[in-house]
């Protein structure tokens, strides 16, 4: 019988049914009560991988090894995939960490990953990355629907800050900027400053929702916001599936936008749109473990 396993770090959405703790020295410890019920079964494992991505990944590898010993067939549901940003090797001596992590998950016994608006995928739906099968769910439509409560019936257009995030707004007839970055600055790991945001659509006097897969440092969103406001946009709201809001990016965005919000793939003050309905559809075919 198919089973689901809910991590303690998913307690905001479903009732956890296994334990994660620490040994005195900080090593992680996991325990799945009633493990025998997973023997040879299809298991859907719900476990968040952010924040604290390195610890969460080690916990995940321990869970996967436990399930491997029972020959369970595991689908992992991890709403935000860390390490997804470096999907290509750019500099000599680096590794494409997204491929490394996906291959490790596959080797550890994860048959499929279900995630949301994965950074290196440019479409919703099934994909193969490294050796890992991925089902990429999108929060694009839900974020657009949520923004209507802020626009209060006023018309607005949707825009993605770059072509990669274009699929998030495509169904709403949205447009995408062309983001041009400078070369790598040798001192800053993996960071390239944004040079320009180019667009071929009318901006003046219109309302916009800028929608991206993630707000990390906030530089992309700030540049898109600045471009729209400089060219005479009226009201601009900002949204992303994953709200990391590093450094003081939320404060900076709040100075120029009407409001900024995200989904709860990552929990935080701006997480206004729930992934629960999407996960409930997924879970409806799966029996609880206890
Ligand atoms: C870029 O390819 C993505 O779509 C995001 O725009 C980007 O990762 C956001 O990162 P940051 O907030 O650091 O500019």
Segment 65-116, tens digit of pLDDT = 999 999 999 999 999 999 999 999 988 999 999 999 999 999 999 999 999 9
Return the ligand 1 atom nearest residue 213 CA.
4
State both tokens at 279: 């996960």
CB 165 less than 6 A from any atom of ligand 1: yes
Percent of the chain at pLDDT exceeding 70: 95
pLDDT tier for residue 129 given thresholds of 50, 70 and 90: very high
Q: How far is the CA of 225 from the centre of ligand 1 (A)?
A: 13
Q: In this predicted structure, what is the pLDDT of residue 178?
A: 92
Q: What is the pLDDT of residues 248-263, one digit of tens each?
A: 999 999 999 999 999 9
- Mean pLDDT value across the chain: 94
Q: Does ligand 1 lie within 6 Å of residue 164's CB atom? A: yes
Residue 188 confidence (pLDDT) above 70: no
Angle between helix 53-69 and 97-107 (nearest 10): 30
Residues in the chain: 290
CB of 217 sitting under 6 A from ligand 1: yes
Q: What is the pLDDT of residues 62-71, one digit of tens each?
A: 999 999 999 9
Question: Count of CB atoms within 10 A of residue 12's CB?
Answer: 11
pTM, full prediction:
0.95
Instruction: Check whether 289 has a pLDDT greater than 60.
Output: no
Residue 112 CB burial class (10 angstroms; 0-12, 13-18, ≥19) = middle
Q: How far is the CA of 213 from the centre of ligand 1 (A)?
A: 7
Q: What percent of the chain has pLDDT over 90?
A: 87
197 lines ligand 1 (CB under 6 A): no
Ligand 1 atom at minimal distance to the Cα of residue 85: 8
The residue to which tokens 């400078």 are assigned: 182
Find the 215 Cα to ligand 1 centroid distance in Å.
Answer: 6
Specify the 3-state DSSP secondary structure of 147. Answer: helix
Nearest-5° Cα angle at 267, 108 to 178: 85
């Amino acid at each position: 019988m198919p089973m689901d396993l809910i991590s303690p770090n998913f307690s905001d959405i479903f009732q956890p049914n296994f334990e994660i703790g620490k040994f005195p020295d900080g090593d992680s410890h996991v325990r799945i009560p009633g493990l025998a019920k997973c023997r040879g079964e299809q298991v859907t494992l719900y476990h968040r991988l952010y924040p604290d991505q390195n610890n969460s990944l080690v916990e995940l590898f321990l869970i996967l090894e436990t399930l491997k010993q029972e020959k369970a067939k595991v689908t992992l549901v991890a709403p935000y995939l860390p390490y997804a940003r470096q999907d290509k090797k750019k500099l000599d001596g680096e590794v494409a960490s997204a491929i490394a992590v996906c291959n490790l998950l596959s080797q550890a016994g994860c048959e499929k990953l279900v995630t949301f608006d994965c950074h290196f995928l440019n479409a919703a739906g099934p994909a193969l990355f490294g050796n890992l099968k991925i089902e990429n769910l999108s929060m694009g439509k839900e974020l657009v629907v949520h923004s209507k409560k802020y626009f209060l019936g006023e018309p607005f257009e949707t825009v993605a800050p770059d072509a990669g995030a274009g699929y998030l707004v495509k169904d709403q007839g949205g447009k995408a900027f062309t983001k041009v970055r400078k070369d790598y600055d040798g001192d800053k790991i993996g960071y390239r400053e944004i040079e320009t945001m180019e667009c071929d659509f009318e901006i003046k006097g219109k309302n916009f929702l800028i929608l991206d897969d993630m707000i990390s440092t906030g530089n992309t969103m700030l540049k898109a916001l600045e471009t729209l406001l400089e060219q005479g946009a009226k009201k601009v709201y900002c949204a992303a599936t994953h709200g990391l809001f590093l450094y003081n990016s939320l404060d900076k965005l709040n100075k120029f936008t009407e409001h900024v919000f995200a989904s709860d793939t990552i929990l935080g003050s701006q997480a206004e749109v729930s992934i629960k309905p999407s996960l409930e559809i997924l879970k409806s075919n799966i029996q609880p473990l206890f």
